[in-house]
Structure 1
Amino acid sequence: MSCYRLQGGNLLTQKKFVLKLLRKYILLFIGAMIAAAGLEFFLVPNQIIDGGIVGISIMASHVTGYPLSLFIAILNIPFLYIGYMQIGKKFAISTLFSVVSLSYWVSIFHPIPGLTTDLFLAAVFGGIIVGIGTGLIIRSGGSTDGAEVVAIILDQKTGFSVGEMVMFFNLFILTSAGLIFTWDKAMYSLVAYFIAFKVIDITIEGLNESKAALIVSEKPDEISAALMSRLGRGVTILHGEGGYSKEQKNVLYAVISRLEISKLKDIIQEVDENGFVTISDVHDVMGGQFKKKSIH
């Protein structure tokens, strides 16, 4: 009986693992399709580029006349190898699948005419759609940009953050676009890149992005009770001391979602008009009573 239950448990665990893996690669495939649609329906027909290796591929395709999908695949190969050696096999496989999927969808969508010739509309909608697709890929554990792989590795060896290095790399690429296309196209490319960058963040974090609130009030018990009853959030009470007055104070710490910020401010205003609150970003939350949806 014990052996049977153990085997049944293993089968159930294997089934969950396979379903989770299948879901991951389906999302990577869909993300690549969405990103390719943004590129081929809006950006590429109007000579507006994206950042990273995709941006270099667009320029290389324009200069040489060879397919964009070919450059996306070839130029990412060295970075895939570096990622495999430095970051890990799992990430490299997910990234390889994402790059191949993006190349595939780009080749499928390329014969279809662009949806607009208005450069501003192309930059805005292209940026939004590419951002959604890329964000979905990153959120599912993949990547389509070898520059990010290098930035992750260099982050461990230099004083610059991943974001700073990616930004510097992309500014160089966008400047090159001004020389190959026109400076107007380069500026529209910068608009598209900025929009895509912000949409990627929203797609990865979701509208329920976590925020940390620190509250200093003369009525900590009342505010704590209100937060727990009206928001359903647990509250931690920290013991602090005024820097000037040396007065003992209770500081409330709570993790909320982005959509709950307004309600939290209303609660504090109702309970204690003199209450002081600071709200900051939280990059990740695990455990406790806080529930955060994830597609990993």
Structure 2
Amino acid sequence: MEGHHQHLKLPKLEVLRRVMLITLGASLVSVGLEIFLVPNHIIDGGIVGISIIVSHLVGMPLGIFLFILNLPFLILGYKQIGKTFALSTLYGVSVMSLGTFLLHTVPPLTEEYFLATIFGGVLLGAGVGLVIRFGGSLDGTEIVAILFNKKLPFSVGEIVMFFNLFILCSAGFVFGWDRAMYSLVAYYIAFKVIDITIEGFEESKAVWIISEESQEIGSAIMSRLGRGVTYLHGEGGFTGGKKRVIFCVITRLEEAKMKSIVHELDPVAFLAVGNIHDVKGGRFKKRDIH
């Protein structure tokens, strides 16, 4: 019974952890918006960008529009995106809206546009990245893109990009073109920080090597990099000859050393490196090299 009782508790702890981290993420976005970006008329893309423009034109607090404008897209996409994601997004948007509402009267930390752009972008990216990493979203744009993606010949990413470019251009007419350019920089910084937050600094890479010297290369990778390798058996498409393929997973920081090992042992080896977002199980932990 005790083991069964513990099993029931685990999901609750996981839910609590997710709620806390989504709360933290949404709060960081609130600070980035109200303490850095919005007072300096620098906007973000998506529904957040539209909310900032509407809030400025109407003269009402940003938090109201963040919630109201996101709500229809959440209802619209509820069936497509699933209950857990929809509830996580609704919670995240609610925390973000409340946070910006509470911070609305707090004076900005800086009126220097460049500093506001950098720090606002970093906080925005870290906050949005945390929310996405733990199962939610803070913007209805992605939901719109998923729905339109089925009817248009564009990917979700392309639709989001077109939508955001339109919003950032609109900022030029409302706040002036210098602010629109600062907004573009803030958006780019946020975009990059989102990636780092979701994937982590130690982004993993998958490596495939085809070489006549596969045994020597595999041994060198294990002894000099401390990484395990797997040998796969393949067949050449043109020649029909048997090929030995080395597969291994490394971190981004080890990529240059990996390439130098391969080039040193076989300058004509085929080498392919790809990004992977998650590594679980097996023996990915690095072995100590003595």
Q: TM-score, normalised by structure 1?
A: 0.89
Distance 1:79 1:155 in 2: 15
Cα distance in 1 between the residues matched to 2:155 and 2:82: 20
User: Measured at CA, do residues 234 and 248 of structure 1 come closer, stay the same or move farther in structure 2, by a change above 3 Å?
Assistant: closer
Aligned partners of 1:129, 1:179: CA distance in 2, in Å? 26
CA separation in 2, counterparts of 1:284 and 1:45?
38
Per the alignment, residue 237 of structure 1 pairs with 232
Task: Please state whether the residue corresponding to 2:77 is helix, strand or coil.
Answer: helix
Whole-angstrom distance in 2 between the partners of 1:99 and 1:215: 45
Q: Residue 213 of structure 1: SS of its match in structure 2? A: strand
* 1:272 CA displacement: 3.2
Post-superposition offset of 1:121: 2.1
Gaps of at least 5 residues in structure 1 are 1-6, 292-296
1:26 paired residue among 8, 20, 24:
20
| Residue equivalent to 1:200 | 194
Match of 1:236, SS state, is strand
3-state DSSP class of the match of 2:106?
coil
SS at 1:66's partner residue? coil
Say whether 1:218 aligns with 2:208.
no
Structure 2 residue aligned with 1:123: 117
Q: Please tell me whether residue 183 in structure 1 is matched to residue 186 in structure 2.
A: no
Following the alignment from structure 2 to structure 1, what is the Cα–Cα distance between the partners of residues 228 and 166? 45
TM-score, length of structure 2 as denominator length: 0.90
Conserved? CA contact 1:138–1:204, under 8 Å: yes
How far apart, CA to CA, are the structure 2 residues paired with 1:156 and 1:134?
25
Q: What are the ranges of 5 or more consecutive residues in structure 2 without an aligned counterpart?
A: 286-290
**Are 1:240 and 1:251, in contact at CA under 8 Å, matched by a contact in 2?**
no
Q: In the TM superposition, what is the alpha-carbon distance from 1:141 to its structure 2 partner?
A: 0.5
Find the residue that maps to 1:237 and give its secondary structure. Answer: strand
Q: Tell me the amino acid that sits aligned with residue 206 of structure 1.
A: G
Q: For 1:3-22, what per-residue CA distance to the aligned partner results, in whole angstroms no more than 9, with x for missing partners?
A: xxxx3232111111110100
Alpha-carbon distance in 1 for matches of 2:57, 2:282: 54
Match of 1:158 in 2: 152
* Aligned positions, number: 285
- Secondary structure class of the residue paired with 1:279: strand
Percent of aligned positions with the same letter in both sequences? Answer: 53
| Alignment match, 2:272 | 278
User: Alignment partner for residue 51 of structure 1, among 32, 45, 48?
Assistant: 45
Tell me by how many angstroms 1:203 deviates.
0.8
The 2-side partners of 1:200 and 1:252 are apart by 32
| CA–CA separation in structure 2 for the residues paired with 1:91 and 1:124 | 30
SS state at 2:234 partner: strand
The question of whether the paired residues in 2 share the 8 Å contact of 1:234 and 1:289 is answered with no
Whether the 8 Å CA contact 2:124–2:190 is kept in 1: the answer is yes
2:47 paired with 1:67: no
Q: Quick one: distance in 2 between partners of 1:204 and 1:191?
A: 20
Match of 2:10 in 1: 16
2:29·2:123 contact (CA, 8 Å) conserved in 1? yes
Return the letter of the residue paired with 1:170: N
One-letter amino acid of the structure 2 residue matched with residue 233 of structure 1: G
User: What displacement does 1:242 show?
Assistant: 7.5
